[in-house]
Amino acid sequence: MSLRNHRWHDVYKVLKKHGFDVARQRGDHLQMVHPDGRFVTLIKKDPIKVGTLKAILIQADISQKEFLSQV
């Protein structure tokens, strides 16, 4: 499986599993924060582009392999 064609809600679920919660929302952007202070901005648009998804995973400190196993 690749990082192409993932829905924003699938990414949201993985981030929730890793402890992220929605801090605020403005328009179609969600800001999610982790208890240790990390934060990620997630856009509510399908599908999420590969580069955007990679940036989200880097900010969340989640490996691509780990993400793909949880989707």
pLDDT digit of tens for each residue in the chain (71 aa)? 799 999 999 999 999 999 999 999 999 999 999 999 999 999 999 999 999 999 999 999 999 999 999 99
CATH number of the domain at 52, please: 3.30.920.30
Examine residue 3 and state whether it is found in any structural domain, yes or no: no
Sheet of strand 39-43, all strands in order from the earlier edge strand to the far edge: 21-26, 29-33, 39-43
Examine residue 31 and state whether it is found in any structural domain, yes or no: yes
**Total domains present in the chain:** 1
Examine residue 13 and state whether it is found in any structural domain, yes or no: yes
Judge if pTM exceeds 0.95.
no
Domain that holds residue 33: 8-70
CA separation for the pair 67, 25 (Å, rounded): 23
Give the pLDDT score at 44.
Answer: 95
Examine residue 51 and state whether it is found in any structural domain, yes or no: yes
CA separation for the pair 44, 57 (Å, rounded): 16
Examine residue 17 and state whether it is found in any structural domain, yes or no: yes
